[in-house]
Chain A
Amino acid sequence: MSALAAPSAPDLASAAFLLMVGAYTAGALGALTAGSSALARSVTAAGALLGAAAGLVLALAVLIAGAPFALTVPDLLSPGGGLALRLDALGAFFLLLIAVGGLPSALYGVGYTAGYAGRYSLRWLGAMLNLFLLTMSLVVLADNVLTFLLTWEAMSLTSYFLVMTEHDRDDTAAAGGWYLAMTHAGLAFILTAFVMLIPPGPTSTFAELRSTAATLAPAARSVVFTLAALGFGAKAGLVPLHVWLPRAHPAAPSHVSALMSGVMVKLGVYGVLRFALDLLGEGPAWWGGLLIALGAASALLGVLYALMEDDLKRLLAYSTVENVGLVFIGVGAGLLFASLDQEASAVLALAAALYHALNHAAFKSLLFLGAGAVVHATGTRNLNRLGGLVRTMPWTAACFLVGALAIGGLPPLNGFVSEWLLLQSLLPAIASAAPLVPPLVTLAVGAVALTAGLAAAGFVKAFGIAFLALPRSPGAAAAHEATTSMRVAMAALAVLCALFGVGAVVIVQRLAALLGGYDGLTGRPAPLAEGLSLALPGAFGGMSPPLVALGLAVAVAGVWVAVRLAGGRGLRRGDTWGCGRIGQTARMEYTSTAYAEPLRRVFAELYRPTEDLTVDVHPESRYFVQSIAYRSEIVPWFERYLYAPLVRRVGAWADWTRAIQSGSAHGYLAYLMIALLVLLAIALARSG
């Protein structure tokens, strides 16, 4: 790397960067060449842990010093402008996010992938995991179009290979196909957005894009914004581009699902923020409105389908759609306020969005790792076949409970604080004088609140059915606790969920500060806190996460001590009340499907479930039932009305092109000849 030019970059940041790239690369190469699969697992984890830790140092160095880190390699791929890397505050935040998901997932992988030995290639998996982490880190560092597109596509491909790990399962190939198709559809939009901004000339750094954007007509800038929102929205999982999530996330190994769901989808948010805040600059109010509407639709539909899901990992994937929707509501509100020149509110909304993204990285990674431990121990993801795991897997149960409470938005954990902040940041918009904004935001508030309530219900179902009561299958009854590395990874994330909640005052102020300088925000935001409380300027309320946590802890301890002191008689174990019937079995318990039944009826117009009930009676008398078979299925309407016709149409086109594919070499030679002649004719016509 002779052409290394790192002007004014602090030494610590440079060293951390080189270590990050070196560790991920060494981890990938080491895993590929490892002699045994046990060694491959260790090398994979070592490279990923070291790389993610170095990335964390790099991110913190940039965030704390406040000075961007830059590095260019002009000789490499020079026709495209060379590689250009630059880490500013926005990128550094997302690099931090990668470490939050990456470190525990890498550690977890040591124990989790042990079961893969002999079935799947651990060398390939380890190499792809390291490369996936590397390319994600480089995406947020990219400073020109070539670097961004190369690393973005490499990230998509490595994650595709990771999804395909369990390639012999039936649904994996279909999941991979959907993922590949959706991510490349997104890429097409992103590519077009970039092409509209690229200036003439060989290089296309983001700085040049910024100046081109300033000269574009308003309509053209809006087109670029819409394309970027669609392209990155496909990666983030915005409705209706989210269809790959509930397929790809369950198919991938669980620590990869954690990375994809907790971290990679956030890079879609990063892309939108990079375009909207940085490259394009301030836009019309409807940009924000569009994102709020898309976000509200994603949040609501995501949680509604998550509720109906019986597959634990699919439930989590739909819940990611929901949370990404919440993040986009915050982003949209921020853009809206910025275009209305309400800076304090804009900073607050964007900080709420980033804070929720960070929190989601923590609790969604935790929940996917927990789900992985469940799958590992019981061999099934079907909630209706789980149950009773709280006794056999107490550690996993406790960690999963923390994650479920956090994602359900319950105090004092982090999800509660960011949802509170998001609601507060929307309040000033209701009071806004701009037309159409108050009704839109009022509906968004209703959607956020309904989402929060339904998410709480959904995760009571997920935790309650999977971990409580009696096991519903032999597999669940024979469950065992996760290995040490898996437990440590989950416990670390559970602690983070609590810390991110209690430390909200510090975190939110930091996030508000890092937004300075983007999108015409001055960088000197009003202080968002007073002592231990979040006290919001421009918004309406205040609260203190540490004091709420303290109050709850004191109250629980106080009540416990008081009840202890009051004495009272002992505790006896007895049967569960079954109306006099003794001998309780798991068949008497509520199932996942039954738990969601009331809400399924309430939202029947949306779900339109197909139901199939077969009752088999005794030939002698119809009063003796021999068996009952019940089958019900919900096909999401956007799949039925949007994607199914699309897939049919594409299939028809593919069939049509078969006509020219004769299989004869002569035919193909003829096509080549004809194409050449046509091109020559065009060239002649243009030069003449």
Chain B
Amino acid sequence: MLAWTVDAAQGLAALLLAPGVVGLVRWLKARLQSRRGAPPWQPYRELRKLFAKEVVVSTNASWLFRLAPYVVFASTTAAAFLVPFLVVPRPLDAVGDLLVLVYLLLLGTVFLALAGLDPGSAFGGMGSSREMTVAALAEPTIALAIFGLALSAGSTNLGQIVARTLADPASALSPGHLLAFAALFVVMLAENGRLPVDNPATHLELTMIHEAMVLEYSGRYLALVEWAAALKLLVFFSLLGNLFVPWGVAVALTPGALAVAAGSIVAKFVVLAVGIAVFETRVAKLRLFRVPELLSASFVLALLAVTSSFLAR
């Protein structure tokens, strides 16, 4: 019972923490670019404002447009509940493995892409088409990176990957692990619409991918979509943090271990937020048709990860 409570609590905590992490990245970026920037809790204010606002829906949009934000939010939440934030092993491990998590996120992407087409706007169609292109090309990298991890851990189960690396700390420095980390880092950038694939702060419709797709959303629908996007970033952060650098994750349900786990995961989020803020300040956005090159490079990294895991077995 306690295990279930902890599982539910960590999922909900992730849900609540997600906008803050996005706010932190934005604030760090602003500081790095010598701007004052909005405080890290700004996204919470925006969400509160959006939830209170009236919704404007295009006259051309159908029920799918109004259903999509719920499906996007629900599938991202379901994916977040599969992530071991604090403790392994956990009861929810039997529900789904890393592949299920990836497909749940893809479900959200597909519904957003459909909703992008629904109002019939050229921007929505453009964003939708580009988003699906990036998502499709990122898919083989994700699968191979997962297989690279699974080969050394003996499982695609998230809890087991974490437990295995904890038991054998040297494996975290194996080339297979590091290559898989690099591949998933690129995928994280692409899947979350970060630079250099997409610019989350852009104001020009023609250069948008994710933002163009959700251009027609407003009010509570936009709040759900934005929150889900923040949660997706958090899910990727915790995958990168806990699967590759699992130290701090509790292996027993004691208050002390859980406190350490909570502290360490927040520290990992901060490190990754700083990393992404520095990275995004350093690079420029790629032209859309250069993005496949980046993704094929990440595919090669994942392929090398599998190969080296296989050779090191």
Interface residues of chain A, those whose CB is within 8 Å of chain B, are 387-388, 390-391, 401, 405, 408-411, 416, 420, 423-424, 427, 430-431, 438-439, 442, 445-450, 452-454, 456-457, 460-461, 463-465, 468-470, 530-531, 533, 535, 540-544, 547-548, 551-552, 555-556, 558-560, 563, 566, 568-579, 584, 586, 588-590, 594-599, 601-602
| Cα of A388 to Cα of B224 in the assembled complex, Å | 25
* Nearest CB in chain A: distance from B190 CB, A: 12
Q: Is the CB of A584 within 8 A of B120?
A: yes
List of B residues within 8 angstroms of A570 by Cβ: 54-55
| Cα of A449 to Cα of B64 in the assembled complex, Å | 27
| Cα of A579 to Cα of B143 in the assembled complex, Å | 40
List of B residues within 8 angstroms of A423 by Cβ: 99, 143
**Known contacts A450-B140, A598-B133: A590-B56 contact under CB 8 Å:** no
Q: Is the CB of B133 within 8 A of A602?
A: yes
| Cα of A663 to Cα of B208 in the assembled complex, Å | 70
Type the 1/0 row for B123-138, where 1 means its CB is closer than 8 Å to any CB of A.
1111011101101111
Q: Is the CB of B117 within 8 A of A465?
A: yes
Q: Is the CB of B143 within 8 A of A584?
A: no
List of A residues within 8 angstroms of B313 by Cβ: 431
Partner of A548, one of B95, B109, B117, B292: B95
* Nearest CB in chain A: distance from B54 CB, A: 4
- Counting contact residues on chain B (CB < 8 A from A), the size range is 35 or more
B71 contacts partner chain A, Cβ-Cβ < 8 Å: yes
Q: Is the CB of A541 within 8 A of B114?
A: no
Q: Is the CB of B306 within 8 A of A405?
A: no
- 3 smallest CB-CB distances across A and B, nearest first, come from A590-B125, A453-B139, A449-B143
Best-surrounded residue of A430, A449, A594 (most CB of chain B within 10 A)? A449
List of B residues within 8 angstroms of A559 by Cβ: 70, 73-74, 77, 224
Secondary structure call for the A interface: helix
List of A residues within 8 angstroms of B136 by Cβ: 450, 453-454, 456-457, 599
Q: Is the CB of A551 within 8 A of B78?
A: yes
| Cα of A560 to Cα of B52 in the assembled complex, Å | 15
B179 contacts partner chain A, Cβ-Cβ < 8 Å: no
* Nearest CB in chain A: distance from B151 CB, A: 6
Cβ-closest chain B residue relative to A438? B310
B156 contacts partner chain A, Cβ-Cβ < 8 Å: yes
Q: Is the CB of B110 within 8 A of A427?
A: no
* Nearest CB in chain A: distance from B242 CB, A: 17
13 interchain pairs (CB within 8 A)?
A390-B62, A430-B306, A445-B144, A449-B140, A457-B136, A469-B125, A540-B156, A548-B104, A559-B70, A594-B125, A595-B129, A597-B129, A601-B289
Q: Is the CB of A445 within 8 A of B103?
A: no
Partner of A602, one of B55, B94, B137, B307: B137
| Cα of A424 to Cα of B98 in the assembled complex, Å | 11
List of A residues within 8 angstroms of B37 by Cβ: none
Q: Is the CB of A457 within 8 A of B132?
A: yes
Q: Is the CB of B299 within 8 A of A446?
A: yes
**Known contacts A469-B120, A540-B155, A602-B292: A453-B103 contact under CB 8 Å:** no
| Cα of A595 to Cα of B288 in the assembled complex, Å | 14
Q: Is the CB of A548 within 8 A of B140?
A: no
* Nearest CB in chain B: distance from A572 CB, A: 5
| Cα of A540 to Cα of B100 in the assembled complex, Å | 13
Cβ-closest chain B residue relative to A579? B205
List of B residues within 8 angstroms of A401 by Cβ: 64
Partner of B140, one of A388, A427, A453, A535: A453
Best-surrounded residue of A411, A431, A560 (most CB of chain B within 10 A)? A411
* Nearest CB in chain A: distance from B219 CB, A: 7
| Cα of A559 to Cα of B64 in the assembled complex, Å | 16
| Cα of A535 to Cα of B157 in the assembled complex, Å | 11
| Cα of A210 to Cα of B132 in the assembled complex, Å | 49
List of B residues within 8 angstroms of A463 by Cβ: 114
| Cα of A588 to Cα of B121 in the assembled complex, Å | 7
B119 contacts partner chain A, Cβ-Cβ < 8 Å: yes
Partner of B54, one of A450, A544, A572, A601: A572
**Known contacts A463-B114, A559-B224: A590-B99 contact under CB 8 Å:** no
List of B residues within 8 angstroms of A594 by Cβ: 125, 129
B215 contacts partner chain A, Cβ-Cβ < 8 Å: yes
List of B residues within 8 angstroms of A597 by Cβ: 129
B211 contacts partner chain A, Cβ-Cβ < 8 Å: no
Cβ-closest chain A residue relative to B123? A577
* Nearest CB in chain B: distance from A266 CB, A: 24
Cβ-closest chain A residue relative to B74? A555
Q: Is the CB of A468 within 8 A of B137?
A: no
Q: Is the CB of B113 within 8 A of A460?
A: yes
Q: Is the CB of B103 within 8 A of A409?
A: yes
Q: Is the CB of A442 within 8 A of B144?
A: yes
| Cα of A464 to Cα of B109 in the assembled complex, Å | 13
| Cα of A599 to Cα of B139 in the assembled complex, Å | 14
Cβ-closest chain B residue relative to A457? B132
List of A residues within 8 angstroms of B18 by Cβ: none
* Nearest CB in chain B: distance from A218 CB, A: 29
Q: Give the residues from 50 to 99 in chain B that come closer than 8 angstroms, CB to CB, to chain A.
A: 51-64, 70-71, 73-75, 77-78, 81, 94-99
* Nearest CB in chain A: distance from B202 CB, A: 15
| Cα of A543 to Cα of B93 in the assembled complex, Å | 8
Q: Give the residues from 213 to 241 in chain B that come closer than 8 angstroms, CB to CB, to chain A.
A: 215-216, 219-220, 224
List of B residues within 8 angstroms of A556 by Cβ: 70-71, 74
Partner of B51, one of A541, A548, A568: A568
List of A residues within 8 angstroms of B73 by Cβ: 555, 559
List of A residues within 8 angstroms of B205 by Cβ: 579
